[in-house]
Amino acid sequence: MKIINNEVDLKKIHIKDKFWSKYISLVKNEMIPYQWQVLNDEANIKIERERNDKNIPAEKSHAIENFKIAAGLKSGHHYGYVFQDSDVYKWLEAVSYSLTNEKDPELEKIADSVIDLIELAQEKDGYLDTYFTIDAPERKFKRLLESHELYCAGHFMEAAVAYYNATGKNKVLSIASKLADCICKCFGPEEGKIHGYDGHEEVEIGLAKLYVVTENKKYLEMSEYFLKQRGKDSDFLYEQLEKDINKEEIIKGMNTSEKKYFQVHKPVLDQDTAEGHAVRLVYMCTALADVAYLTKDAEMLAACKRLWTNITKKRMYVTGGIGSTVSGEAFTFDYDLPNDTMYCETCASVGLAFFAHNMLKSEPSSIYSNVLERSLYNSSISGMALDGKHFFYVNPLEVDPKASKYDPTKSHVKVTRPSWFGCACCPPNLARTLTSIGKYVYTVSNNTVYTHLYMANEAELSLNNSTILLKQETNYPWSGNIKISLKVDQTTNFTMAFRLPDWCHSYTIKLNGENVDYKISDGYAYITKDFKNSDLIEINLEMEIHEISANPHIKDDLGKVALQRGPLVYCLEESDNGDNLHLIKLTKDVKYECEYDPNLLGGIAKITCNAKKLIVSDNWNDDLYIADAKAPKYENKKITFIPYYSWANREIGEMKVWINKDI
């Protein structure tokens, strides 16, 4: 049976986009070499603890060294987090996409050497995890709550598939298959196997991807098993720890996390609210959506839809960020979206994009692609500084440097991007997403080419019986004009479907300069016709500035608006507007102006307007509280908004997305 895969081969897409090419280059030229130095403990940088916790290993990465020790090339102990291996795998995955985008024999050589090292570190039975191989072989698969063994395995499988796709080299796939076989041998419903799952979802994603390239159905079934077993016996993770005679914890205190943290409070298919650790949840959903697509399992897809609805209708920030609390880096409850205490981890935003992408495979609906876009253009890329060398874990919507400094409950909200973290999950996660951005642009199914994202690119897409070349030209996200030109060998009947973004309230679609018939379904405009060579489709998405209002059940946003233009959410920064941003309010009759400034923050469209700022000294001297205050006075003030993703690239200061507005 041929696997139906409507994902587009990354090799066949060449990103020519001014906006995204910059990121792809930054990853290739800055992040990848930099991460390589970090992984080898050669970078002369200060690694920061992402939390104020001395238990966090932050002296060095030691990740490559761990592999060398596991491979028997060096002696010593494992250092770092138990999931340190995944740093190497995520680096390798980013390298793979980067090599797909652009050949680089030097880099490929380094990657090959890493794969050789991984092969050496793999045990005879396929087991692969340096922590357990080096320091705790007797505890393998015995402490899944905290061990991250399957999590690391999943990341390796993702990297392996990416590297194989990039280079066609089989070795990496053979290591991954051996590892997957080892897992299939140890886990499953059969007697004698472990009837369990990992504390951190990820292997389910890797196994499904490995199935697609190897066509080994066992891997898909293993992924499905992990997903369907999860939460069925919701005590499994805890009971496994109880059974281990050795009581030493691998991650201190993790066993006190509640079931929701791990999404094991009920069977996955019964879950209808997004709970617990946000990254875990979206990784689970990403796998669930992929397996639902690959197996055509309607029940799985229904579960995905329920979770998608809960996230995007109740628990997501306007930036596409998720995770309302630092405690457990987790979801909390419906409409609880505080702007200055949240987590909004970069990894979680990226994971939400993965989930959206996999849902689009089954259902081309803009409810997914709109969020995909929102997440990518806002709280994902806000994770990286414009220099490509500094990174946020936490992506707040409101920052007061005093609070970050003097209120320990906000100390996780950093005001500048540190250069590296002890737990280095976010930067490489962003690197692999940025280098594979092309994957998210199109899907192809039922003789239809779906355009989900707008960015300049050239793509070669396979339809039922033909191949088309498609060239997208645009200055997105600064302009909503998109030109798509076709190259076909012969006139071909097929459908082109274009996403009509949720932010766009007015648009035109023309074919060769003329109006064209299209029908709209699920947020896409469908044009079906005999397309001929050199056909030119011009889409003009009117890119007005919109004031976004949050559902009034979100307490923290009541009486406020956020500005959005195109896919970009905007914010005020102290650099442009002075301090006390909370004293600024937009008037009813506010007029916004937008201007592209090539010299500001790497080139951005900034928004300016006249606003009012409360004059504190008018009513107040040094009183803390006064009775029956007269109406406050305001001064006029011109203010400047910048795209959210570009904040914190100048001096330290306040930042605010949701701005008071007169109603």
Residues binding a second copy (CB under 8 A): 54, 256, 312-314, 316, 318, 324-328, 330, 332-333, 336, 341, 400, 402-403, 405-409, 503, 505, 546-555, 558-559, 562, 564, 580, 582-583, 614, 616, 619-620, 622-629, 631-632, 660, 663
Q: What is the 3-state secondary structure (H, E, C) of 468-517?
A: EEEEEEECCCCCCEEEEEEECCCCEEEEEEEECCCCCCCEEEEECCEECC
Closest CA to 121 of 66, 85, 178, 71: 71
Give the DSSP letter of residue 370. H
List of residues 6+ apart from 360 with CB closer than 8 A: 368, 369, 372, 443, 450, 452
Nearer to a second copy, 137 or 552 (CB): 552
Annotate 103-146 with DSSP letters as a single string.
--HHHHHHHHHHHHHHHHHS-TTS---HHHHHH-GGGTTT-HHH
Smaller CB separation from a second copy, 73 or 629: 629
Least distance between a second copy and beta carbon 549 (Å): 4
Cα Rg of the chain (Å, integer): 25
Residue 632 CB, nearest approach to a second copy (Å):
7
Is the bond into 598 cis (omega within 30 degrees of 0)? no
Of the pair 37, 619, the CB lying nearest a second copy is at 619
The CB density around residue 335, as the number of other CB atoms within 10 Å, is: 17
Total residues found in the chain within this entry? 663
Catalytic residue, from 7, 275, 329, 345: name it: 329
Q: CA 14, CA 187: separation in Å to the nearest integer?
A: 40
3-class SS at 421?
strand
The residue ranges of DSSP E strands in 387-488, in sequence order, are 398-399, 442-445, 448-451, 457-462, 467-474, 481-487
Q: Which is nearer to a second copy, 112 or 556 (CB)?
A: 556
**Residue with the two structure tokens 């799985």:** 300
**Residue number with CB closer to a second copy (350 or 562):** 562
**Catalytic residue check, 426:** no
Toward a second copy, which CB reaches closer, 1 or 631?
A: 631
| Residue 463 identity (one-letter amino acid) | L
Beta bridge partners of 389: none
**Ordered alpha helix ranges (H), 215-330:** 217-229, 236-243, 278-295, 298-314
Out of 184, 425, 426, 571, the active site residue is 425
Q: Give least dist CB 150 to a second copy, A.
A: 26
Amino acid at 290: D
Reading the block at residue 454, the tokens are: 């707008």
Closest distance of CB 386 from a second copy, Å: 27
Closest approach of a second copy to the CB of residue 400, in Å: 8
How far is 352 from 41, CA to CA, in rounded Å?
Answer: 31
Least spacing, CB of residue 607 vs a second copy, in Å: 15
Per DSSP, the three-state class of 460 is strand
157: left (phi over 0), alpha (psi -120 to 50) or beta: alpha
In the bound state with a second copy, the residue whose beta carbon lies nearer, of 529 and 661, is 661
The label of the residue with tokens 């803009």 reads 366
Q: Which is nearer to a second copy, 33 or 552 (CB)?
A: 552
Task: Kindly state the smallest distance separating residue 550's Cβ from a second copy, in Å.
Answer: 6
- Return the axis-axis angle of helices 203-214 and 217-229, rounded to nearest 10°: 160
* Residue 629 CB, nearest approach to a second copy (Å): 4
In angstroms, give the least distance from the CB of 323 to a second copy.
Answer: 12
DSSP conformational letter for 606: E
- First-to-last alpha carbon distance for the chain, in angstroms, is 60
Q: Give the nearer residue to a second copy in terms of CB position, either 225 or 331.
A: 331
Is 329 assigned a catalytic role?
yes
Cα-flanking dihedrals φ and ψ of residue 470, to 5°?
-130, 130
Catalytic residues: 329, 425
